């Protein structure tokens, strides 16, 4: 997959694609539907996705609580897995934000990226102040010579599939509901960072990962699937994770700590992908270290049982 980050400097070989446009946070089933419609619209053209970095919501409200379901790197990896050949990850800045809907259609889609056909969701908004709607893009396509398909929103039962709905499910600890909308387990990706090695002292050495910039699922303990993506220990494992601020040990920044079952080795610096399968319990503060260890033993047994049933 080729990644293009500036619509003003696009090579001839990267023009002529059919592309889905949106933020694609989570790359959920609604996103996949839009991508598949783009795939089928012009099968002979390269399949592309147009997205933005940073997310426009981050640009306009930089001090708001983190909300993203995945980092840009994780999104790129997932889009590549589903067959996207051209990722137009456009830098969202004042220049792009100030374009009118017609300027976006003409200067970015037609003249900049040279797209032949685009697909957007029915709730798509674009241009300065989100003034442009999907129907406006269809009209501009007729004017400037590119095709436009407006994809219907996807629903699961009475629930519209959206990143907002997935965030709400994760906040409530409803990992399987989130996975049903995503089409895959919700994952936290990133390198293993150094911690305070308390887990090792307790008999539960953990791989620690930052969740900075990401939406925070319900704090507590999870049964997880662990993918070590590179290095000598590359492979798939089962485990149990604690996500939160570790109230037994004072005030701490939220992170995720994962005990990988039946594993021996060093994972520092290794890229991991941790899938949240089931929320086993909320975060707690125990009366003693012994009580904590007893609960960790029970958590591990419960996580093994959950994962064995998959």
- 102 part of the active site: no
Structure tokens at 8: 């003003």
181 touches 164 (CB < 8 A): no
User: Which residues does residue 160 pair with via DSSP β-bridges, in sequence order?
Assistant: 155
Q: Which residue has the tokens 């609580």?
A: 65
Q: Which residue has the tokens 């993918």?
A: 227
**Rounded Cα–Cα distance for residues 171 and 192 (Å):** 24
Our CA dihedral for 151, 156, 159, 164, rounded to 10 degrees, sits at: -70
Structure tokens at 60: 């306009």
Structure tokens at 216: 């925070």
| Strands (DSSP E) found in the chain | 2-4, 18-21, 47-53, 86-91, 117-121, 125-126, 132-133, 147-151, 155-156, 159-160, 186-191, 207-210, 220-228, 235-244, 255-260, 271-281
User: 40, 257, 278, 283: which one is catalytic?
Assistant: 257
Sign for the CA dihedral angle at 229, 232, 235, 238 comes to negative
Kindly list the catalytic residues: 257
């Amino acid at each position: 997959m080729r990644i293009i980050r500036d619509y003003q400097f696009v090579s001839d070989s990267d023009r002529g694609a059919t592309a889905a446009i949106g933020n694609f946070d989570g790359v959920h089933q609604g996103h996949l539907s839009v991508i598949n419609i783009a795939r089928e619209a012009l099968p002979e053209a390269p399949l592309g996705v147009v997205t933005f970095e940073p997310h426009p919501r981050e640009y306009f409200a930089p001090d708001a609580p983190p909300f993203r379901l995945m980092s840009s790197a994780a999104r790129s990896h997932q889009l590549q897995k589903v067959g996207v050949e051209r990722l137009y990850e456009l830098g969202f800045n004042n220049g792009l934000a100030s374009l009118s809907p017609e300027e976006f259609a003409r200067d970015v889609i037609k003249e900049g990226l040279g797209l032949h056909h685009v697909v957007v969701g029915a709730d798509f908004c674009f241009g300065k102040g989100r003034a442009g709607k999907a129907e406006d893009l269809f009209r501009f396509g007729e004017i400037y010579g590119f095709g436009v398909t407006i994809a219907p929103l996807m629903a699961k039962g009475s629930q519209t599939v959206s990143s907002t709905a997935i965030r709400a499910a994760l906040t409530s600890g409803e990992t399987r509901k989130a996975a049903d909308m995503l089409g895959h387990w919700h994952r936290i990706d990133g390198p293993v960072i150094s911690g305070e090695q308390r887990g090792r002292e307790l008999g539960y050495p953990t791989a620690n990962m930052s969740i900075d910039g990401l939406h925070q699922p319900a704090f507590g303990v999870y049964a997880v699937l662990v993918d070590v993506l590179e290095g000598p220990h590359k492979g798939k494992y089962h485990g149990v994770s604690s996500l939160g601020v570790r109230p037994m040990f004072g005030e701490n920044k939220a992170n995720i700590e994962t005990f990988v079952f039946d594993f021996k080795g060093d994972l520092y610096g290794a890229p991991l992908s941790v899938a949240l399968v089931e929320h086993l319990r909320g975060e707690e503060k125990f009366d003693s270290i012994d009580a904590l260890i007893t609960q960790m033993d029970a958590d591990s047994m419960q996580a093994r049982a959950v994962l064995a049933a998959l």
